[in-house]
Amino acid sequence: MLRSLWTLIRRDVSLIVMRRQDVLTVVAFFILVITLFPLSIGPEPDKLRTLAPGGVWVAAALASLISLDRLFADDWRDGTLEQVALSPQPLAVAALAKVAAHWFSLGLPLVVLSPALGYSLGLEGAELLVLALSLLLGTPVLSLLGAVGAALTLGVRAGGALMALLILPLYAPVLILGAGAVSEAMFDSAYTAHLSLLGAMLAVAVPLVPVAIAGALRIALD
């Protein structure tokens, strides 16, 4: 089973890297949304600093959402998803492998870039570390939740917009905790509680959400 999962992960990562524009689009989107803040609010450092935690987190959530749009669509259209469903490993495990590959190639770049963007909005020192850490724990949860939406909207016209409507409300708790952790760090108070809760969410989401994804994929294949 490990071998087939490894095949799936490697294939997905190399397909995403080969297409290149997918990674570039998502990263450029992330950067552009964040640069909109100083342009629309004005360059006062204090104001920007207050907005920074929420700003980076909202940008990351939206970037994750647009990147997930095609997570299963290509495989569904060309029949690969059927073959995955008929292969020996459970569909939920295969779904988890696909989300993992997706996060490594499209989620991780956002985490890596976030300290630079946080710095440009006026965050500094430990705050940047907390920002990156909160995204490191939070974006995999976003990817998993988004994958449910991507699976549910397979084959639906204007699926992307519908998916956003379905999934954005579910993003709210992650967003609150993630941006909250950074805000706490800005006021020198304890941010570990927020990070622990994010970690707990991730720990619950990894085993449970793939089952929901697999259920949605089966409906799409039936």
Partner 1 sequence: MHAQTDTAQPPATLQAQRLACRRGDEQLFSGVGFTLEPGELLFVRGRNGSGKTTLLRTLCGLSEPAVGTIHWQGQPIRRLDDETRRQLLFIGHRDAVKEELTPLENLRIHLGLRNENTDEETAWDALQRAGLQGREEVPVRYLSQGQRRRTALARLLVSQARLWILDEPLTALDRRAVAWLFERIAEHLEVGGMVVTTSHQSIDGLPEPRILDLD
Residue 221 interacts with partner 1 (CB under 8 A): yes or no: yes
Spatial separation of the C-alpha atoms in residues 94 and 136, rounded to whole Å:
22
Footprint on residues 15-34 left by partner 1 (CB under 8 A): 15, 18-19
8/61 with CB nearer partner 1 = 8
- Helices 126-152, 192-221: axis angle to 10 degrees equals 20
Task: Pick the closer one to partner 1 by CB: 15 or 108.
Answer: 15
Cβ of residue 2: shortest distance to partner 1, in angstroms?
Answer: 9
Neighbours of 14 (CB within 10 A): 12
Q: Looking at beta carbons only, is 20 or 157 nearer to partner 1?
A: 20
Least distance from partner 1 to the Cβ atom of residue 87, Å: 5
- Give the binding range for partner 1 (CB under 8 A) out of 40-48, 79-87, 103-111, 146-154: 79-87
Of 39, 40, 42, 88, which one interacts with partner 1 (CB under 8 A)?
Answer: 88
**Distance between CA atoms of 128 and 111, rounded to whole angstroms?**
11
72 near 154, Cβ under 8 Å? yes
Beta carbon nearer to partner 1, 7 or 192: 7
List C-alpha distances in Å: 69 to 58, 129, 136, 162, 169.
17, 29, 21, 10, 16
Exposure of 97 in the CB half-sphere (CA atoms within 13 A): 19
Q: Is 219 in the site for partner 1 (CB under 8 A)?
A: no
Q: Kindly state whether residue 82 participates in binding partner 1, applying the rule CB under 8 A.
A: yes
Residue 78 binds to partner 1 (criterion: CB under 8 A): yes
Interaction between residue 39 and partner 1 (CB under 8 A): no
Regarding 83 and contact with partner 1 (CB under 8 A), the answer is yes
Q: How far apart are the first and last CA of the chain?
A: 24
Look at the block and give the residue holding tokens 């020192």.
125
Footprint on this chain of partner 1 (rule: CB under 8 A) = 1, 3-4, 6-8, 11, 15, 18-19, 77-80, 82-89, 221-222
